[in-house]
Amino acid sequence: MPVTGDHAGGRASSAPLVGRESEPTIFELSVPGRLAYYARSTGVPEWPASEIGAHLRREPAELPEVSERDLVAHFTRLAARNYSVDVGSYPLGSCTMKYNPKFADEVAEMEGISRVHPGTPERAIQGWLEILSSLESYICTITGMAAATLQPPAGAAGELTGLLLMKAYHRSKKRDPRKVLIPDSAHGTNPASVTLAGFEAVTVPSGPDGLVSVEALRSLIDGDIAGIMLTNPNTLGLFETKIVEILELVHGVDGLAYYDGANLNAIVGVVRPGDMGFDIVHSNLHKTFATPHGGGGPGAGPVAVAEKLVRFLPGPLVRRETGGDLRWHYPEESIGRVHGFYGNAVVLARALAFMRYLGGEGLKRMSELAVLNANWLRWRIQDSYTIPYGGVCMHEFVASASSIKKSSGVRALDIAKSLLEEGFHAPTVYFPLVVEEALMFEPTETESPQTLAGLADSLIRLAVIASENPELLAERPLRTPVRRLDEARAARKPVLTEDQRTAAPSAS
């Protein structure tokens, strides 16, 4: 539906997807003997394989046989069956799906960036070391920390790294506390990381205001507390205003405070985790610092720490010698490496490009606009959806479809699926777990007021349809490349490869 009047132009970034035919798999396109590959002529002589006779493969792997032209058509058609930030608004809460500026792609593709072997001697990678060193310093300035490892390849890897640092800290003091506090609104990676680090997750309930209940927290504090993991703003998009008091309670028993940086986009240049009292901070560069999500990865989750933890950081770190050259450095009491090489290096370079582009003031403005956009979108839809927590929200907010469900049977899922039909990506649904029928919106700073208005209008329209014709929403989406899927069937008898597919009776 075209948008007119004040909001004209807004739908330019939400074109509906086209094309409803299934795309054959690459294996179905395969024709014996067809080739795309063409090798360079090297002049290297053939070497007899007899030396490895006993090890030779008996059956060649059945890779597809396609021409380059067919290959290109297939993967181009697949791309056309996918929604993305470049196509339209992607208000997926907790994921910070902002626009990823194109110039960073060019940075990532520079030969001297992308074609460097990780085993190159230090004197021939001074540029790369400068990039890493500069990024470390940007991250420390933004988070208020002393030093950072850039190795963790995603947020969850950063969490586990941070928890192992926590463990090393306590061990250095000859202590072995076992419990890590986590609010009930936390992301699933937090408790999973706690277990993997050999700690026990203890849930802290939220109060009626959506914030950590300081009273409940106080009752959980004892000498067996290794630390706390929090994101601030929390996953409800609310700033934990009692943060200083909370962290003092934890520090009071020599616990450490871990900051899950998934929500850093709300506060850059405004308030720093270090100044709140956190000791360990991971940043999701694929969220706050605009590196593209790649359909689910790669990301980068650097971990920055306070001075007292620097000696435990994974090596290698980049440090400057007195002569001015940069070198790899291995901290003495390091917990050891957490990546095969130096982390997702090219993602790190992209993030630095974004930081240098915006600069100090631009980064602050980024967060301010992210918070403005979230508040404004919430204001626009507040009469149509339940807003469980009032007050100012930060970069995201959680709405609830619970009253809509009560009156019409329409669930958060139906609203989300119907929004796809409207040409927008869905919000995050059913997370955090503390809100019923949760719809979590994070519009990000890169969407225009017109796009936000278009999104709000769609949401309001869906609420109206829910009350008048609820059955319509249960059917949607109708015009997307495929309609709702039989997920139970997928799980009941999993078909995870072409071979399992051809072994099983055909799907349709």
Partner 1 sequence: MLADLGMGSLEDLFAHVPKEIRLQRPLALEKGRSEFEVREWFSGMARRNSAARRDLVIFAGGGAYDHDLSSAARALGGQSAFVTAYTPYQPEVSQGVLQALFEYQTLVARIFGTDVANASLYDGAAALVEAVNLAVGATGSSRVIASGGVNPAYLETLATFGAGRSLELEVAATDEREATAWGAPSGQAAAVVVGYPNYFGTIEDVAEARTVANDLGALLVVVADPVALGLLEAPGALGADIVVGEGQSLGIPLSFGGPYLGLFGASTRYLRLIPGRLVGETVDADGRTAFVTTLRTREQDIRRERATSNVCTNQTLMAIQAAIHLSWLGKEGYQEVSRRCYNAAHYLASRLETIGLRVSSAPFFREFVVELPIPAEAVRSRLFDQGFLAGLAVRGRPNHLLLTATEAHTREEIDRFSDLIAKEI
Ligand X SMILES: Cc1ncc(COP(=O)(O)O)c(C=O)c1O
Q: Does 316 bind ligand X (CB under 6 A)?
A: no
Picked from partner 1, ligand X, none, the partner binding residue 289 (CB below 5 to 8 A depending on kind) is none
Q: How far is the CB of 143 from partner 1 (least distance, A)?
A: 10
Q: How far is the CB of 384 from partner 1 (least distance, A)?
A: 16
Within positions 37 to 76, which residues make up the interface with ligand X, using CB under 6 A? none
Q: Does 283 bind ligand X (CB under 6 A)?
A: no
Picked from partner 1, ligand X, none, the partner binding residue 179 (CB below 5 to 8 A depending on kind) is none
Picked from ligand X, partner 1, none, the partner binding residue 79 (CB below 5 to 8 A depending on kind) is partner 1
Is the Cα torsion angle 474, 478, 484, 486 positive or negative in sign? positive
Q: How far is the CB of 94 from ligand X (least distance, A)?
A: 4
| Residue type present at position 170 | H
Kindly determine how many residues on this chain lie close enough to bind ligand X according to the rule CB under 6 A.
13
d(CA 26, CA 486): 23
What is the token pair recorded at 494? Answer: 């999993």
Is the Cα torsion angle 161, 164, 168, 173 positive or negative in sign? positive
Query: Given the DSSP bridges, would you call strands 428-429 and 438-441 parallel, antiparallel or unpaired?
Result: antiparallel
Picked from partner 1, ligand X, none, the partner binding residue 398 (CB below 5 to 8 A depending on kind) is none
φ, ψ for residue 354 (rounded to 5)? -65, -45
Q: C-alpha distances in angstroms, 56 versus 12, 46, 201?
A: 56, 16, 49
Rounded to a whole number of angstroms, the distance between the first and last alpha carbons of the chain is 33
Q: Indicate the length of the chain as a whole number.
A: 508
Per-position x/- string for 219-248, each x denoting binding to ligand X as judged by CB under 6 A, each - no binding: ------------x---x-------------
Q: Does 17 bind ligand X (CB under 6 A)?
A: no
Q: How far is the CB of 296 from ligand X (least distance, A)?
A: 9
CA 403 from chain centre, in angstroms, equals 30
Within positions 93 to 132, which residues make up the interface with ligand X, using CB under 6 A? 94
Strands (E), 417-460: 428-429, 438-441
* Bond from prior residue into 101 cis (ω within 30 degrees of 0): no
Picked from ligand X, partner 1, none, the partner binding residue 467 (CB below 5 to 8 A depending on kind) is none
Q: How far is the CB of 173 from partner 1 (least distance, A)?
A: 17
Q: How far is the CB of 480 from ligand X (least distance, A)?
A: 23
Measured torsion, CA atoms of residues 72, 77, 82, 86, in degrees rounded to the nearest 10 = 60
Q: Does 260 bind ligand X (CB under 6 A)?
A: yes
3 state DSSP class of 43: coil
Element (H, E) at 455: helix 449-468
Picked from partner 1, ligand X, none, the partner binding residue 408 (CB below 5 to 8 A depending on kind) is none
Q: How far is the CB of 130 from partner 1 (least distance, A)?
A: 6
Per-position x/- string for 150-189, each x denoting binding to ligand X as judged by CB under 6 A, each - no binding: ----xxx------------------------------x-x
What is the token pair recorded at 338? Answer: 């957490």
Quickly tell me which residue has 């807004």 as its tokens: 10
Provide the binding-site residues for ligand X, judged by CB under 6 A: 94, 154-156, 187, 189, 231, 235, 260, 262, 284, 299, 301
